Structure formats: C-alpha cells, structure tokens
Structure 1
C-alpha cells in the first residue's frame, strides 16, 4: 500500500521531472476528503476534458459544477504542456470502476477489459485532466503529450511504480472513452522509456574518456534545416542525414522529446520538441517555430557534446 504524496512532495516530483507547473489558488488544501478516503494510492489516471480554452478548462476542473463539485482532478494539462495543479487529496475524477482493473494496476500487469463499476477510483488514483475536445479530431500537441508523459512518470518515480500503474479512464470505467486521440499503450511506452533513464532529465553518464575517444560529432546546420523542412518521410525510409539523430538524442537528454520518438527523422514531434528548446533559449513567435537556427543549435551542442557547422 502507498500513502499519497504530500502536496509539497508532489510539486517537487513534478518539477524534478522537468514539468512546467502552475499552482492554482489554494490547491494544496482543495479536495473532497470530507466525502471519502484518499489513499492508499495505486496509480495514475489520464482523462480528456471535452473543453476548449486553457483558462476555462482549468476553472471548471478546479471548481466543478453543480452535479459534480471540484476539484475534478489533481492536475490539468493544457495544450501548451503546462500542468496546472488544482487540488490535492480526494478529487472527483475517476468515479466507480472495475476492481479487476485495480488488482492489475496494483500487480503492475496488463489491465483486463473493464466490465463492471464496483470500486471507488477516487480513493486510489491520482488524476490528470487533459485539455481536449475528445472528438478524435482535436489535436494533441507534442508539448502536451510530453507533459502527460512527464507528469505520470513523476508520480510513478516518486512511488517506485512502473508504467503499468498508469491507465486511462476508458480502461477503468465501462462506457468511458477518454483519453481519445492517442492510445494508452503508446503513452505507457513513453513513460517506460522515461523511467528507464537513471535520472529524469539528464542523459546516462558516458564512459570515462580515453585517448582513443572519437571527436565530438559535428552537425551541419544547412543539412539539418533541409531535413526539418522536408515532408515527413514514410515509416521505414532510411535516415537522410545522421545529424538529425544527434540532435534528437540531445532533445531527449533535455527532456523535450520522448526517446521512442527519436527515430532519425526531423518530423512533427522533433519540430515541436526543438520549438520548446528555442523557447527555453528565450525565443518566441516565428523564432521558435522548431526550425533550427545557428544560435539555438550552438547552445544545444554546447550542452550536449556536439559541434555545429554552418
């Protein structure tokens, strides 16, 4: 059995994982503890909100509505990849679900199909609501998916859980479809890759250098830009320029790109991740469009061990 993280411990875990966090009002004491137990906790549940607009989404998840008072989760993950903490303790997010699913989460095995609602999930799960219309058409930006990955991994890391402790609402309560637009299997793969790292946001330590250590890799800026501007290649096509993988590995090390998405193609996921790096460097607007520039690439190379050739 696991006792819930304190509010301070949860905040620290998220920040240590590299999550951008906004604390909303009195979130540390905003809960539904008077209506039932909070804990022991066994996992993390992911939802979509069926709302549009970050401010409105955060407000309704914090305050709830007449039929279902807030908080409706612990954290709201908006499309820009920010986690807004709105509550700590029991929250109205999971509802009743399948006890067999809970047993599988506790055992950290594959969850069975949910076919009954006989167990209170609000007692046992941390909940993250994600801003999305849930119609299968509303996009999931790379920054938002990365934030979901990081937030879930942060809680798992703090408790010593594996990715099998993370489920979607659709895997818990019969009739639910959220989250819709990505699969929980793919998200668990991302979380597993992140938890497989020795530390949340740093690369695995390299072996001590020796006289035979090869020179640092060189990334050709013009070739990198050409790769970024090219149409995304079909799955299985050969990598057109090896420097792309060097940059992707650097973005993974910075916590901006999932390791599973570092495939050597400067596709939409890499562009989104590089745009986040440009923002971290202080660029905005068109200067943070995900197409590499000399200054941002040089800064990344200085941090991650490669050189830049114009």
Structure 2
C-alpha cells in the first residue's frame, strides 16, 4: 500500500524514466474525490481507449461522457509516446473488479486469479493509463507508444517500490472488459521487470516540443511551452508582444502566431492565430521539460 503521488512527484517520476509529459490544463484538480476514496494505491491498470486521434482521446479522458464523468484515467498515452496527464486523484477508469485480484497485486504475486466477481472498487487502488488504440486487435502499437507505456508503468512502480506484478490489464481486473488487446500482459510485465532491473536510463528528450493539440491552446494554458513558443516567434520576426512572452497564453500569443501562419503562406481562417499541427512542426519550438 502507498500514498498516491503528488502531481509534481508524478511528473518527476515519469520524466526521470524518460517519458515525455504534457500537462492538460486543469488536470491537477480533475478528479472524483467527492465520490469516494483515492488511495492507498496498490498498482497500475493499463487500458486501451477504443478511439483514434490524440486530441479527441485526451479530451474524452479529461471530460468523460454523459454516462461516465471524467477523468477516465490519470494519463493518456498517445501513439507518439507522449503522456498527457488528465487527472489527479480518484478517476473513473478501473470500476468494480475482483478483490482476490487486488490481494494478489498487493502481494505482488506472479500469478493472478481469473477475475470472476466484481466486489471491489478499483478506482480507490489503481492508477490508470489509457493508451490510444482502437482495441480491435489489429490497430498497431507503435514502438514509441509501447516503450512509453512500459516506462510510465515502471515509473510508478519505481516511485512506490513495487515490482512488475503491480501492473495489470483492465481485463485482468474484471471479466467485463477486454482491454488491452494486441499484446499480452505477461509480455508487458516482463518488459516492465526488465526496465526495473536496470539503472534508470532516461530516453533522450525530443529536440522540439510535441504539438500539444489544437484544443490545448483554446483553454488559455499557462505553461513553459507557451513561453518557448513565444520566444521562437520573436526570434523569427513574428512577435506581436508589448511585453513578454510569458507562460500565460494571451491575445498577443495568438496575434504572434497569426503572423507566423501568414509567413508560412496561410490566409483567411487558416491564419487565425490558433496553432495547428503543421505550422507547429515548422516552428520547431525547443523542448521544454
């Protein structure tokens, strides 16, 4: 059993393990703590989203839907291996599962019983990562995503002093679910164990900041990413700032980005100042940890 990590401790653990992290606006206070307990925590549950696209998947997991309020996990692992943090605290991801499975996880047993009863609230006890995949057994798991999944799980195990048997698939928690599909959890745990058995060798951070998603900017984020973007725009002669740039997204950032879009040849609504994936890639914003 363990006390859940604080937001800063979680980010530190993930980045120490070499994971690229993006903080979704509002994630630190996005939880279901008013509906039940959060902790002590005992392990990590791996899910697939049954969705496509990073932005749509992240927004769904942050907000939830009419039948299940968000957050639907703690982090969304995109196809490119980026981990988008969407929740901190109790999340609607594990649901009811088998208490005997929980006991096996607590004991860090190499053998899990088959789940056949749903008598225990898993949202109390497990961190959850939703991994972008259709879950049809055909949608591929890119190497960058698969590696990030292993690193994210290992990061939490390392932070709490757990072994790889503290990591389970949703289908191992309850007989009402099939996720994740496309790989075996036994193989996944072997990879986590291998990583935990070695020194922490963080993956090399990307040279440029991954695109946070179009909706990220529309939520007026306050982030080092915004500062790095603004400095890059100024360096390229597209600054429209009277002061700064700073971490808070403002109309000056939007005006500056519109100048960049026009410099790239965009016109009309394509040069409205809201970043898009193509113009962002061309901007080459330095990676900010």
Both structures adopt the same fold (TM-score exceeding 0.5): yes
Residue 49 (str. 1) matches residue 78 (str. 2): no
- Structure 2: 5+ residue runs without aligned partners? 209-289
Equivalence for 2:279: none
Cα distance in 2 for partners of 1:3, 1:16 equals 19
* CA shift for structure 1 position 118: 0.3
Q: Tell me the TM-score normalised to structure 2 length.
A: 0.70
Considering only aligned residues, what root-mean-square deviation do their CA atoms show, in Å? 1.5
Equivalence for 1:18: 18
Cα distance in 2 for partners of 1:154, 1:98 equals 25
Instruction: Indicate how the Cα distance of structure 1 residues 5 and 153 shifts in structure 2: closer, same or farther if over 3 A, else same.
Output: same
* CA shift for structure 1 position 281: 6.3
Greater RCO between the two (CA within 8 Å, min separation 6)? Answer: 2
Q: Tell me the TM-score normalised to structure 1 length.
A: 0.65
* CA shift for structure 1 position 175: 2.2
How does 1:131-280 map onto structure 2 within 5 Å?
Answer: 131-198=132-199, 200-201=200-201, 255=203, 280=206
Q: What SS does structure 2 have at the residue aligned with 1:167?
A: strand
How many residues of Structure 1 are paired with residues of Structure 2 in the alignment? Answer: 208
How does 1:291-306 map onto structure 2 within 5 Å?
Answer: none
CA deviations on 1:37-58 (whole Å, 9 max, x unpaired) are 0000000000000001111000
Structure 1 stretches of 4+ moved >4 Å: 279-282
Residue 2 (str. 1) matches residue 7 (str. 2): no
Q: What SS does structure 2 have at the residue aligned with 1:175?
A: coil
Cα distance in 1 for partners of 2:16, 2:28 equals 18
- Structure 1: 5+ residue runs without aligned partners? 202-253, 256-276, 283-310
CA deviations on 1:66-112 (whole Å, 9 max, x unpaired) are 11000000000010000000000000000000000000000000211
Q: What SS does structure 1 have at the residue aligned with 2:182?
A: coil
CA deviations on 1:97-134 (whole Å, 9 max, x unpaired) are 00000000000002111111000000000000000000
Equivalence for 2:96: 96
Equivalence for 1:31: 31
